[in-house]
Structure 1
Amino acid sequence: MPIALHQRRQVLELDDNGHIRWRVVEETIEVEASSTALLLCDVWDGHWSRGARERLEELIPSMNQVTASARDSGLLIVHSPSDTMDFYEGHAARVRAQMTDPVEPPQVLPAPAADGDSLVAGLYAPNGTAQEYDPPLPIDDSDQGSTTPEDSPSKQWRRQHAGIEIDDERDLISDEGAVVYGALRARGIDRVLLMGVHTNMCVLHRTFAIKAMAKRGIHMILIRDLTDSMYNPARPPYVDHDEGTRLVVGYVEKFWGASIDSADL
């Protein structure tokens, strides 16, 4: 079953006058549901930051609706609530993932860096290797990014948020990148739509998330209205929280993949 996605990406190029610029590319692509997955990244039932908890609660109903719609369209659903696998011991979706052989392919440059029309590879992978490619973030999250006074990170989650339904018969539960990739490859899936938190942290850095999967050759697409960052407006670049999130979404569009709006699903 084909699905139309209206994706947005950004290309670094020289304009007609030889000036470097970012060009926004908005395009409609048609993908097969059978070759596409939806991954939920760290949609936990709790968090040490009150601000983070409150913003995620606002997203949960839409996240669950999109998950159900994607599943009905034929996409594989992968639930990846890190550090909570003990909670799902014996769950059918967890057992299904555990039966998957882990696969770790050689790293490749992500699609934006491999794009011959973009200048980013020359800037951030001058030797042409995936290992060296890691452009810096556009925001300062060195204080852990809470918008509320909490400043001591600790594990305050034990499972995925109960507002997200898991299909026992079709979904997968895993927080291991090689296992998730193995499941994708076994099913002929080469494109992952990702939603979850936090855009500048787990969504980028988990072994199953954007950076690692893009370097495994998976086309990564962030659902930009169903994610949230850990960014404190008191830190550079001194913008409000939502603008900080938008900057990180733009970072994904420039260096790691593309983004879509959840309305596509």
Structure 2
Amino acid sequence: MQTTQSQPRRHFLQTLLQSCAAGALLPQIETLLAEETGQSSRSLPPVPGKLSVNLRKRGKEIDASPTIEQTEWNASETAIIICDMWADHPCKLAAQRVDRMAPRMNQVISKARDQGVAIIHAPSGGIQLYEDTPFRQRIKEARPSKPPVPIQSWCYLNPEKESPLPVDDTVKRSTESTLRGCDDPIADYKKNTDRHEHPAIKIVGYDVISANGQEIFNFLEQEQRKNIVIMGVHTNMCVLGRPFGIRQLRYLDKNVVLCRDLTDALYDPRDRPYVSHARGTEMIIEHIERHWCPSILGKDLTKVIPGSNNPDS
């Protein structure tokens, strides 16, 4: 039962909230008010359960061996962002690899969702295809939050924080497209490829859809999701550079990691350093581990520590 002593404090917090601009509410004050009233602005149920996560890291030296550090995350403080897993792609070998990856990705996010992890689908360029769905409405209604640094439309390679990428993804083999890094033998770039998310990846429940950096930041703050897992394509381009990608999330001081077994690079073995496509992807993953953030495996997201999901645990 609330005591009369708490009423002045609650009134003070409500007055502060009312005085804030609509686009710049203070999350800390809203959290305190939620504690006072027993209410929460979170749309996903915050359930108990801890994930045991194995972080693979590297030193910045080029020959540094990876290390594994085990840590624990609350499932209710964790979110997955699925980057650009389109139903089709102008590069047909890239599309084939997405076809292969999508069913495994769906298995991982399905199990993670059951544990209380938030799922954000980000098929850039195809968001308008979902405008009339509850998944778009839910994220657009997230409480506005002011980011600590500007959210960029694209985060380019940052020479102050990283060395040049280990693969050359700048070569274009068609005058009809700006697409780079495609390893099709003969590039036949088709415009207007299907930008729906791959049909093997299911969008259900409390999931949300956005490729807007501010919308995603609002949702992460509202839902108190500080551990962010990026999976999808392409590792050397959109996964790093999108306004919800690894570089931007690091600038926002989020605890971001790459899911290394559910990603793929856009790299052509005809280009430097002339290695297989699989090795080229591995080299980009190593670059990210060295300069930006650790990586994990999808299986780390599929189950919680036994007993940690019990009430009042």
Q: Identify the TM-score tier after normalising by the shorter chain.
A: 0.7 to 0.9
Candidates 68, 87, 93, aligned match of 2:110? 68
For the 8 Å contact 2:139–2:210, the answer to whether it is kept is yes
Kindly provide the amino acid, as one letter, of the partner of residue 201 in structure 1: M
SS in 2 for 1:11: coil
For the 8 Å contact 1:85–1:175, the answer to whether it is kept is yes
For the 8 Å contact 1:190–1:219, the answer to whether it is kept is yes
SS in 1 for 2:60: strand
**What residue is the counterpart of 1:258 in the other structure?**
294
Identity fraction in percent: 35
For the 8 Å contact 1:102–1:180, the answer to whether it is kept is no
What is the rounded CA distance, in whole Å, between the counterparts of 1:75 and 1:81 in structure 2? 19
**What residue is the counterpart of 2:224 in the other structure?**
188
**Structure 2 gaps, min length 5:** 1-48, 151-157, 172-179, 303-313
How far the C-alpha of 1:21 sits from its partner, in A, is 5.2
Kindly provide the amino acid, as one letter, of the partner of residue 222 in structure 1: L
Could you give the per-residue CA deviations for residues 22-81 of structure 1, whole angstroms, max 9, x where no partner exists? 242211111000111011000111100110011111111101100101101110000001
SS in 2 for 1:22: coil
What is the rounded CA distance, in whole Å, between the counterparts of 1:207 and 1:198 in structure 2? 14
Question: Are residues 1:228 and 2:270 paired?
Answer: no
What is the rounded CA distance, in whole Å, between the counterparts of 1:248 and 1:103 in structure 2? 32
**What residue is the counterpart of 1:111 in the other structure?**
none
SS in 2 for 1:224: strand
Question: Are residues 1:159 and 2:187 paired?
Answer: no
**What residue is the counterpart of 2:250 in the other structure?**
214
Distance 1:104 1:134, change over 3 A: farther
SS in 1 for 2:128: helix
Candidates 33, 53, 60, aligned match of 1:12? 60
What is the rounded CA distance, in whole Å, between the counterparts of 1:62 and 1:228 in structure 2? 13
Kindly provide the amino acid, as one letter, of the partner of residue 5 in structure 1: V
**Structure 1 gaps, min length 5:** 14-19, 109-122, 126-132
For the 8 Å contact 2:60–2:291, the answer to whether it is kept is no
Candidates 61, 83, 96, aligned match of 2:138? 96
Kindly provide the amino acid, as one letter, of the partner of residue 83 in structure 1: G
What is the rounded CA distance, in whole Å, between the counterparts of 2:88 and 2:215 in structure 1? 25
Distance 1:101 1:134, change over 3 A: farther
- Structure of higher CA gyration radius: 2
Size of the alignment, in residue pairs? 237
Candidates 158, 165, 174, aligned match of 1:137? 165
In angstroms, what is the RMSD of aligned CA positions?
1.9
How far the C-alpha of 1:219 sits from its partner, in A, is 1.4
What is the rounded CA distance, in whole Å, between the counterparts of 1:21 and 1:55 in structure 2? 29
What is the rounded CA distance, in whole Å, between the counterparts of 1:153 and 1:223 in structure 2? 29
SS in 2 for 1:246: helix
Q: Which has the higher strand share?
A: 1
**What residue is the counterpart of 2:233 in the other structure?**
197
For the 8 Å contact 2:124–2:195, the answer to whether it is kept is no
TM-score, normalisation: structure 2: 0.72
**What residue is the counterpart of 2:209 in the other structure?**
173
